[in-house]
Structure 1
Amino acid sequence: MLVLSRVAQELISIGDTISVRILAVSGDSVRIGVEAPRSFTVHRSEIYERIQDEKKTGKHK
């Protein structure tokens, strides 16, 4: 795992096409923005896990 320190408005680049920007930091909360091509899906981990569970049980729409 790569660990980086960033402050608000700083950017992290992943490859040539994905960028993560720190939008705001307030206490223990961090707001981030993710820019990626439409061909990539971006989900919070709990949503991604739910989608994977639904695919396994055949309930994914």
Structure 2
Amino acid sequence: MLALSRKKNEALIINNNIEISVLEIKGEQVKLGISAPKEIPVYRKEVYLQIQEANQESVSMDGLEALKNLLG
């Protein structure tokens, strides 16, 4: 993991097309702005993990059995 220090109104550039800017700092909370192409999904980690969990559940054996039953 790369750890960098940034101040308010400073930014990082990733892969020439993603910019992460520090918009505001209040106590222990930091507000970030992310500019990325529309085809690149950007999620909060907790939302990403929920999506991954739901995807895993959908391909579980129960999900496959349900799909088989649905398709006959």
User: Is TM > 0.5 for Structure 1 vs Structure 2?
Assistant: yes
Q: Please give the residue correspondences for 1:1-61 in structure 2 after superposition, counting only pairs within 5 Å.
A: 1-58=1-58
User: Looking at CA atoms only, which structure, 1 or 2, has the larger radius of gyration?
Assistant: 2
CA RMSD of aligned residues (A): 1.2
Q: Identify, as 1 or 2, the structure richer in strand.
A: 1
SS at match of 1:38: coil
The total of aligned residue pairs comes to 59
The one-character-per-residue Cα deviations of 1:4-60 (angstroms, maximum 9, x if unpaired) are 11111101000111000000011100000111101100000000000000001119x
Greater helix fraction, Structure 1 or Structure 2 = 2
Higher RCO (Cα < 8 Å, 6 or more apart): 1
Kindly report structure 1 stretches of 4+ aligned residues shifted beyond 4 Å.
none
Q: Note the residue ranges of structure 1 that are not aligned, 5 or more in a row.
A: none
State the percentage of identical aligned residues: 34
TM-score (normalised: structure 1): 0.91
